[in-house]
Structure 1
């Protein structure tokens, strides 16, 4: 699958799993333009589920500094794309900006299930 089609597929898959994409950009295009970096296609989709974000901010206002969750799509070689996601909910705990509580663990589990659903769909495409 080419890069643009992969980005669209990831966007649609995460939407189907309950995420909006309020922010997106291409670091590769920016770097290629600004510093003549000659980067291969690399795209960031800022995915967000408003209900989960609201729950998270109720427990940790600092977590907003990591929002939205980024899903990255890059081209490893022509026609071969890689998709990566880092859980800001889990990262927030590791960074010490989220509580060590059962409520936070439940939020991590809930968002993790949503992301797992999206990745399972990506893996089957």
Structure 2
């Protein structure tokens, strides 16, 4: 069993993000019985999201940024936390659309959050 921090876990923020996305028509969300989180951060077993700081940024702050940067270029991403290196890395991407996904990654790499991600790590 693993701990997951998901955008769904932050109800008020995700509802606001959801409404903004629908108003701007950048992302279309589907309501199904098998709801999957669009952005999921996998934390180590037993770790609380409040305990983890990566270069001074909280997991919640990073998740908010990713939700704002989301340009509809993927269906789902799973991000894992590497406790040894104290970095996040993209473990899985589904439904990626190019070149839009490249623009999403550029937003991340040019942001102040770039230092919390390892873009070269592979599972």
Q: TM-score range by the shorter chain?
A: 0.3 to 0.5
**Bigger fraction of residues in helix:** 1
TM-score normalised per structure 2? 0.37
Q: Who wins on radius of gyration, i.e. which is larger? A: 1
Instruction: Indicate the structure whose relative CO is greater, using CA pairs within 8 Å and at least 6 residues apart.
Output: 1
TM-score normalised per structure 1? 0.36
